[in-house]
Amino acid sequence: MRHGKLTPAALRKYGFITSFLAVPVLLYVVFVVWQYIQAFQISFTNSRGISPKFDYVGFDNFTQLFQDDVFWAAVRHHVVLLLAMPLITIAIALFFSFLLNLGGGQRNGRMVGVPGSAFYKIVFFFPQVLAVAIVGVLFQAILRPDKAGVFNSALGAVGIDPVGWLIAPGLALWTIIGVMVWQAVGFYVVLFSAGMATIPKDVFEAASLDGAGRFTLFFKITIPLLWDTLQVGWVYLGIAAFDGFALVQVLSVDRGGPDNATTVLPLEIWRNAFTYSKYGVASAMGVALFFMTLTFAVLTLRVTRRERIEF
C-alpha cells in the first residue's frame, strides 16, 4: 500500500485497528494519563484534599520540597537503591539462570543446566508469587531484632549477638534492599532463562568445541547475546527502585525510620497526602518522582544502546 492514499482497504484496516485500540487507550487516558495531568496541576496549588476550593501558589510547594531534609533523604535512598538493587538482582539472576540452563556443560552434544534445574527454577520463582504485603509480613518475623527473629535465632545458635537488621540506621536500608532482591531474583531468572533459550545452541557448541570454558561462555557469548533482555531487566528494576513503598511501610521502624534511614518518595507522598493533608506538596513530590523515573528510563535506554546482534 502506498502512503497518503486512503483506499477503502486502508480505511478498513485502520478502522479495524482503531476499534481495537480505542477502548484501552480511552481507559488509559481516563485512569492514568488524566491523573498525571491532575497531579501536575495540584502540585501548583495549596489543595488539602478535603475541599474543592484551592489557590494556585506557583512553585511554593517545590521550594518547600527542596528545603525539606526528609525529601532529600528519600532522594538519596533512591540513588542507593538505583545503583545497588538492579545490579545485585541482575548479577544473581544471571548467575542462577546460567547455571540452570548452561551450567551443566554438554550432554549428548547439548548444553544443559546443573542437575535438578527444573526443580530450582520453580523454587526461585516462589517469591514472585507472593504478594508484596505477604513478603513484608514474612520478613517481619525473619528480621525481628531480638532473639525471637528467624535470622537472629540462627545467629544466636552459633553464639552471635542479635543483629538489628532494621533498627541500625546504617544497616536498615540494605536490609530492605536485600528483601527486594530476594523477591525480584526469581522473575529475572525466568526472564533470563527465556532469553538464553533463544540463543542458538550451535553458538555455544561451536565455542565449546573451540575449547571455551564456562567462564568464557558466560562473558563472551551469553552476556552479549542476552543484552536486549538485560536492558529490559535493568529498566524494570530501576523503576522498581523508585518504589519500595510497601516493604518500607511494613518493615521499617516508624515507617521510614529510624531517623529517616529508610524512607522513600512514595512513602513521603503517602504521608504528605494522607497524614498531613498536604495534597499540593504530595503532588509536587509525585511530579519530582515522575521526572526522576522518566530521566532514568531514557538515560538507560540511550546509554545501553548497542548494535543488535542478529541471529
Q: Contact letters (x/-) for another protein, 271-290, by CB under 8 A?
A: x---xxxx-xx---------
Amino acid identity, position 105? G
**In this complex, which beta carbon is closest to another protein, that of residue 82 or of residue 251?**
251
Q: Among the candidate windows 82-90, 159-167, 213-221, 300-308, which touches another protein by CB under 8 A?
A: 159-167
Q: Among the candidate windows 26-34, 72-80, 111-119, 247-255, which touches another protein by CB under 8 A?
A: 247-255
- Spatial distance between the Cα atoms of 6 and 109, rounded to a whole number of angstroms: 55
Which residue's C-alpha cell is 541471529?
A: 311
Kindly state whether residue 264 participates in binding another protein, applying the rule CB under 8 A.
no
Q: Among the candidate windows 7-15, 28-36, 157-165, 283-291, which touches another protein by CB under 8 A?
A: 157-165
Kindly state whether residue 258 participates in binding another protein, applying the rule CB under 8 A.
yes
User: Are 304 and 226 a contacting pair, CB within 8 Å?
Assistant: no
Task: Provide the 10 A C-beta neighbour count for residue 108.
Answer: 5
Please calculate the CA angle 208-212-213 and round it to the nearest 5 degrees: 105
**Residue from 145, 174, 216, 231 in contact with another protein (CB under 8 A):** 145
Which residue's C-alpha cell is 538485560?
A: 230
Kindly state whether residue 77 participates in binding another protein, applying the rule CB under 8 A.
no
Kindly state whether residue 99 participates in binding another protein, applying the rule CB under 8 A.
no
Contacts of residue 226, defined as CB under 8 A and 6 or more positions apart, other chains included, come to: 94, 192, 195, 196, 199
Kindly state whether residue 253 participates in binding another protein, applying the rule CB under 8 A.
yes
- Spatial distance between the Cα atoms of 84 and 294, rounded to a whole number of angstroms: 19
Kindly state whether residue 178 participates in binding another protein, applying the rule CB under 8 A.
no
Kindly state whether residue 78 participates in binding another protein, applying the rule CB under 8 A.
no
User: Are 65 and 285 a contacting pair, CB within 8 Å?
Assistant: yes
- State the residues that interact with another protein by CB under 8 A: 46, 48, 64, 133, 137, 143-146, 162, 164-167, 169, 249-250, 253-255, 257-260, 271, 275-278, 280-281
